[in-house]
Amino acid sequence: MDKLKNKFAEKALPKASEIKEFIKENGDFVLGQYNLDAVFSGQKGMIGLITETSLLDAEEGIRFRGYSIPELSDKLPKVTGGNEPLPEGLFYLMLTGDLPSEEDVHDVTNNWARRAIVPKHVFNVIDAFPLNAHPMTQFSAAIMALQTESEFAAAYRKGVNKKDYWDYTYEDTMNLIARLPRVAAYIYRKTYKFSEHIEPNPKLDWAGNFAHMLGYSNEGFSELMRLYMTIHADHEGGNVSAHTTHLVGSALSDPYLSLSAAMNGLAGPLHGLANQEVIRWVLELQAELGGGKPSKQQIEDYIHKTINEGKVVPGYGHAVLRKTDPRFTAQMEFAKKHMPNDELVNIVWDIYDITPTVLGTIKKIKNPWPNVDAHSGALLLHYGMKEYDFYTVLFGVSRALGVLASLIWDRTLGLPLERPKSVTTDWLKKTIAAKKASA
Ligand code: CMX
């Protein structure tokens, strides 16, 4: 058993028994009530999921196992000479609940490097797509192609005992995370760089190696990838990609099937695709004005134009958050350090100055503040990654860390098939009418 698996088993198996006892003792505790509005508003705020890896607060933002992003920046190990947290460390923390030592993080890096070989047929599947296939379509399909390697699916077919599900889910998760950067970089180089592929360098950390395979040798870009892969990894359980992983996994679909499904959700413009939409929106604004830096008035006019055309302002708003997303702030801090004079970054900051006030005047919008996607594209463009259709794939590689760590917990806790009740509007009308009549 590898060291992380051993550590996880030591922590999680007793925890699973403890949680079973906790449910037995408190099963009848009432958590809340919901009304018809809640049902028609996408179940916002209804507690219906257990996710151990992170918890979101509307005002404060995300905490991973109790740690905020600034705390993680301070406490998670870094590469020698680096400033950004290593995503390996965040994965360790999300999985075990403990902060990793430098050595723990090193072990995870080596563990993933050992597992990183991608079978040839996966590359063939990617190569079969036309160049105009969206990178997220290619990414989701490539994860499906990787499913031939699922140890969970193979073990299930052989008749594995339920109590060992977590073990095979762990193996699939580790293999999948190890291989995703290679798969994603392959898609990037195939689609945009004439299929001039770059072999992995197993001596590098996971995110550093990803930057290398994408073809970016600037250390600033590697640092950005470490930060990016850390802050996008998890956002509690109800967001579309996390919930999808959990839902599909609840049918005992293996981690490959679950993650591929999640990536199809992440590819939606109200979720992860917003990161490409932000840059598209800013570039269109610039193009409309004939280039250069728009004035604040021009930005304000463009926001109004967007709203009047019945569209959303990408990168702003959130289903849970009611303040500036700390993931936005973390990227802003990075930009202040590495590229304070970058024109596009400064436009993003001007948009941040103006948009909350404008959106704040529209009553129906619950959160006028920026989310994670409002800033990321400008950072990537600064280092020369101009192919914005690829940005959501970067989000997807990172998101795998959180949702798959959660899936291991799902299988450890023996969480059941998810199956909420649905009703028809007719049923609601009849039920409400009957209740009113009897009152
Ligand atoms: N621009 C314009 N209108 C917006 C808006 C925005 N940025 N944010 C919300 N609204 C509108 C909604 O479209 C909705 O309008 P209708 O009632 O006409 O449908 C209304 O305001 C109420 O929405 P809400 O309750 O404030 O927000 P939701 O919880 O329904 O949706 C989100 C949240 C993120 C989908 C929404 O704010 C949005 O579309 N933002 C832009 C897209 C975006 O940045 N998505 C990325 C989110 C982060 C991520 O997952 O990566």
Residue 285 in domain = no
Query: What pLDDT is attached to residue 55?
Result: 98
Burial 121-143 (b: 16+ CB within 10 A, else e): ebbebbeebeeeebbbebbbbbb
- Report the pLDDT averaged over residues 19-41: 96
Q: Compute the distance between CA of residue 412 and CA of residue 416 in angstroms, rounded to an integer.
A: 11
Tokens of 277: 């939409």
Rounded CA separation 341/283 (Å): 18
For 243-261, write each residue's pLDDT tens digit.
999 999 999 999 999 999 9
Backbone angles phi, psi at 316, to 5 degrees: -120, 145
Q: Is 55 helix (H, G, I), strand (E, B) or coil?
A: strand
Residue 66 in contact with residue 96, Cβ under 8 Å? no
Inter-residue contact 13 to 412 (CB < 8 Å): yes
CB 208 within 8 A of CB 227: no
Considering the entire predicted model, what is its pTM?
0.98
Taking residues 36-57, what's their average pLDDT? 96
Residue type, 296: K
The tens digit of pLDDT for each residue in 391-438 reads 999 999 999 999 999 999 999 999 999 999 999 999 999 999 999 999
Q: Which two tokens stand for residue 8?
A: 């996880």
Of 212, 243, 271, 375, the active-site residue reads 271
Residue 316: which pLDDT band, with cuts at 50, 70 and 90?
Answer: very high
Query: Does residue 396 fall inside a structural domain?
Result: yes
pLDDT tens figures, 378-396: 999 999 999 999 999 999 9
107 falls within a domain: yes
Segment 161-186, tens digit of pLDDT: 999 999 999 999 999 999 999 999 99
Q: Which atom of ligand 1 is nearest to the CA of 315?
A: 44
Quote the CA–CA distance of 317 and 370 in Å, as a whole number: 6
Ligand 1 neighbourhood includes 152 CB (under 6 angstroms) = no
Residue of 246, 318, 375, 382 marked catalytic: 318
* pLDDT given for residue 172 in this prediction: 98
Q: What is the atom index within ligand 1 of the atom nearest the CA of 395? A: 51
How many other C-beta atoms are found inside a 10 Å radius of the C-beta of residue 39?
14
**What's the pLDDT at 427?**
98
**Is any atom of ligand 1 closer than 6 Å to the C-beta of 278?**
no
Query: Which residue is closest in CA terms to ligand 1's atom 40?
Result: 317
pLDDT band at 1 (very low <50, low <70, confident <90, very high): confident
pLDDT at position 67 is 98
Q: Which domain holds residue 214?
A: 102-270+389-413
Residue 205 sits in a domain of what CATH number? 1.10.580.10
Asked whether 237 lines ligand 1 (CB < 6 A), one says no
Beta strands 61-64 and 54-57 are antiparallel
200/180 Cα distance (integer angstroms): 12
CA distances 371 to 7, 21, 296, Å, are: 34, 38, 20
Cβ atoms 35, 42 nearer than 8 A: no
Q: Please report the pLDDT score of residue 190 as a whole number.
A: 98
Residue 174 lies in a domain: yes
Average pLDDT over residues 100-114: 98
The predicted pLDDT at position 368 comes to 98
Backbone torsions φ then ψ of 200, nearest 5 degrees: -65, 155
- The answer to whether residue 271 is catalytic is yes
pLDDT at 340: 98
Return the residue whose CA atom lies nearest to atom 34 of ligand 1. 318
41 lies in a domain? no
How many domains is the chain built from? 1
The percent of residues above 90 in pLDDT, for the chain, comes to: 99
Rounded to the nearest angstrom, the distance between the alpha carbon of 367 and the centre of ligand 1 is 8
79 lines ligand 1 (CB under 6 A): no
Catalytic residue status for 373 = yes
Give the burial class of 256: count Cβ atoms within 10 A of its Cβ; 0-12 exposed, 13-18 middle, 19 or more buried.
buried
Alpha carbon distance 406, 395 (integer Å):
17
The alpha carbon of 308 and the centre of ligand 1 are apart by a number of angstroms equal to 15
For residue 28, give both structure tokens. Answer: 């009848």
| Atom 17 (ligand 1) nearest CA | 364
